[in-house]
A and B are shown apart, each in its own frame.
Chain A
């Protein structure tokens, strides 16, 4: 374990690995995000994620935002366990009938001001599940949506970009 800890101290972080087009994009994004977040929210934005019927692919990519490559917390963005602590509700899935009430309750439990971000194609309009009697067909059918991030699933960088767009709109 000591070896791993020492390596962590001596090696450069992965987030600053040799620049490739994607990494350059990420660095530029980080700079913009920091300015926007600092000005509007005192450098912190708390996010509560709710799966309202997703296939879990969006969750996997949201998870990836926490890995060493994206390291979302360095921007002051962090995922919180309770809607009471959250500024942003990140919703995935087409909103199933069975999750609708839980989603509405989570939204209602959040303090104002609050924003809702719909992640993924099915959160936008039901995606390939649109038309099923078991789904509402998009997050906007249940709670007011401020921003949609399309993709099936959107890659982590797109989700990060979406959150930046939201911050700039606030």
Chain B
């Protein structure tokens, strides 16, 4: 089987694409790459369209290298990757809806993001005695994002769940076309509200790679602080919310308090609870002062004081463990096949973390562990979050101790270029692909949320569980609807 390097050699390298190489390939090499991914030697990181071109980002886990392959399709058709490698199927359906490019022999001909067709959506069937269906969504009982779930159940047991997404499609990638960098950064931050910093960072890093800019060291550390605050807030919120879905409201209440304290500290340091409009291409828009550092110091001390008791409470409550242990098991083989990122992958044996695997500053100078488990159940996904809260606290302390002095912004020039960037959000790896023109306008910006490779796995993890455990499993995945639908 060929390596990523071999595949790249088959193609024609494209100049001015940073930091990973990009190669124009023919249909045969395209299919060879798909087969190599299907074989498990490469991980599919993304698949997106452009004007009459399809691009595919691939990661070679062993070599630690990544690349983008591009295939011209002047007749608007390209060989389906999903035919060989199922994780690509939804990406190809979206690509067909958005760009009118046809993945030839894609196993699923149905639309995905485009809901405009008048006919009812043909859900997959499940046949057998005493099966019935439950339709849920897009408007849910709680305060959550919209999506539709079609359950086929036998009594209490789920036989099949099928997701239907696309309800929050806002046309972000189309709005990106022709936008100036400032507007692009604003849009990127609003892809998924809980990952504001992750998207702002991924976009900024893509711009900086395309323009070959290096933000000042202080800005890199402040970005790190923002990213870890975001991770803390989300993980604390999730740990509580998962327990709440198992009807253990006490954890929810206490974790909610800690989450609120993180958001207030973020507001105190950067002027916005979710740190919106704080991180920009070239650096950060807001510096942190001594008062801000004192707030962070107090926050870390506070969480360190209160969190261990909550972890003990989680671990010692048998009725709660009864719900989370062995529920919604995601098999490691599936996590690996789909390249599942974040706590979903790490709870199922895929110890991938962009901060470590494709280390970017400031993480290349910091000490931290990438926790990983193999059980793959709801409990494992909770424990990964617990361990990551501890790691984030330590990272915040390290960054505060080493925070360099100096400016926080570097001037952003304009010139054409192409780039790709990947950062670790709280949910997993966020990928951004960017092409800029001479005036510094965005020609094309593709944003790929980690949820693309996590949503399909939720369908697999819920099989054989009871209907009442679906909210629990769903919350333990906590996939993004907005990030997925764009």
Contact residues of A with B, CB < 8 Å? 1, 3-5, 14, 49-64, 66-69, 79, 81-83, 93-94, 96-99, 102, 105-106, 122, 127-129, 131-135, 152-153, 155
Knowing that A102-B146, A128-B175 are A-B contacts, what are 18 other residue pairs whose CB atoms are under 8 Å apart, sorted by A's residue number?
A: A3-B309, A14-B257, A55-B192, A56-B481, A57-B194, A57-B276, A59-B143, A62-B143, A64-B256, A67-B259, A93-B170, A96-B167, A97-B169, A98-B168, A105-B139, A132-B172, A135-B171, A152-B276
In the complex, what's the smallest C-beta–C-beta distance from B317 to chain A, in angstroms? 6
CB-contact partner of B174 in A54, A81, A83, A133, under 8 A: A133
Q: Does B15 contact A (CB under 8 A)?
A: no
Known: A55-B193, A58-B193, A134-B169. A97 touches B144 (CB 8 A): no
A58 and B194 CA atoms in complex are apart in Å by 10
Q: Does B159 contact A (CB under 8 A)?
A: no
Contact call B146/A99, Cβ cutoff below 8 A: yes
In the complex, what's the smallest C-beta–C-beta distance from A122 to chain B, in angstroms? 8
Contact call A69/B273, Cβ cutoff below 8 A: no
CB-CB under 8 A from A49, the residues of chain B are 143
Contact residues of B with A, CB < 8 Å? 115-116, 138-139, 141-146, 166-172, 174-175, 183, 186-187, 190-194, 196, 237, 250, 253-254, 256-257, 259-260, 263, 267, 273-274, 276, 309, 313, 316-317, 480-482, 485
A51 and B171 CA atoms in complex are apart in Å by 16
Query: Can you show 25 pairs from A to B with CB atoms below 8 A apart?
Result: A1-B316, A51-B143, A51-B145, A51-B168, A53-B168, A56-B482, A57-B193, A60-B193, A60-B237, A61-B273, A63-B237, A64-B263, A67-B260, A68-B257, A68-B260, A93-B170, A97-B116, A99-B146, A99-B167, A99-B168, A102-B167, A122-B190, A128-B187, A129-B172, A134-B170
A69 and B256 CA atoms in complex are apart in Å by 9
In the complex, what's the smallest C-beta–C-beta distance from B423 to chain A, in angstroms? 18
Chain A CB within 10 Å, residue with most, of B175, B190, B250, B256: B190
Which residue in chain A gives the minimum CB-CB distance to B258?
A67
A127 and B277 CA atoms in complex are apart in Å by 14
CB-CB under 8 A from A128, the residues of chain B are 175, 183, 186-187, 190
Contact call B250/A4, Cβ cutoff below 8 A: yes
CB-contact partner of A57 in B174, B196, B485, under 8 A: B196
Contact call B175/A132, Cβ cutoff below 8 A: yes
Known: A57-B274, A132-B174. A68 touches B253 (CB 8 A): yes
A3 and B416 CA atoms in complex are apart in Å by 61
Contact call A64/B482, Cβ cutoff below 8 A: no
Known: A59-B145, A102-B138, A102-B167. A54 touches B274 (CB 8 A): no
CB-CB under 8 A from B146, the residues of chain A are 50-52, 99, 102
